[in-house]
Amino acid sequence: MKNIINRLINGISIISMLIMVTLVFMNVLLRYFFDSGLPWSEEIARIAFVWVVFLGIMIANRDRDHLQVDIVTSRLSGVIGNVVFLFQRLITVFVLISVIIGGSKLIILTKDQGLPSTGIPTPIIYIAGVVACSILLLTIIASIFSKKGVNS
C-alpha cells in the first residue's frame, strides 16, 4: 500500500510540474509573438505550482531530503538524542496541526468562490496543504512511535 501511495504522489507531482511548465512556456510564447496570452493558463499553472510544492514536501520528507541544521543533534545519542528527536517531532506535529486547521478554515471560507478566469473552486488551492500536511502528520506520528529513534 505504501508503494502505491508513493507512486501516486510521484505521478501527480510529475503531471502537475509538466502542466505548470507547459502552460507557462506556452503563455510566454503567445505573449511574446502574438501580444496575447491565455488568462486561464495562469490560474491552472498557479494551482499546479501549489500542488507541486506540497507534494514536493511529502517527497522530501519521505526521502529525508529536507534541509536541516544538525550540528548539535548529529552528535547526540542515547537518551538525550531520543529526547531531542522527540522534541523535534512534537514541534513538527504542532506546526502541521496548525496548518491543517488554518487550511481547513480557508477551505470553508472559500467554498462558494471560484477562480476568476476558470471558475475552478478556490478551495482546490488550500486542499493541497491540508492533504499534504495530513499525510505528513501521520508519517511523523508513525516515526515517533517507531523504534528507530535518533537514527531514523
* Domains held by the chain: number: 1
Better pLDDT: 78 or 123:
123
Confidence of residue 151 (pLDDT cuts 50, 70, 90): very low
Q: What are 20-66's pLDDT values in tens digits?
A: 999 999 999 999 999 988 889 999 999 999 999 999 999 998 888 87
Q: Confirm if 150 and 77 have CB atoms less than 8 A apart.
A: yes
Instruction: Please name the helix (run of DSSP H) or strand (run of DSSP E) that holds residue 151, with its range, or none.
Output: none
Residue of 70, 69, 73, 71 lying closest to 81 (CA atoms): 73
Confidence of residue 134 (pLDDT cuts 50, 70, 90): very high
What are phi and psi for residue 103, nearest 5 degrees? -65, -40
Whole domain around residue 114: which residue ranges?
2-151
Q: What is the pLDDT of residue 152?
A: 46
**pTM, two decimal places:** 0.83
Better pLDDT: 88 or 94:
94
Cell of 20: 505548470
Cβ neighbours of 117 (radius 10 Å): 13
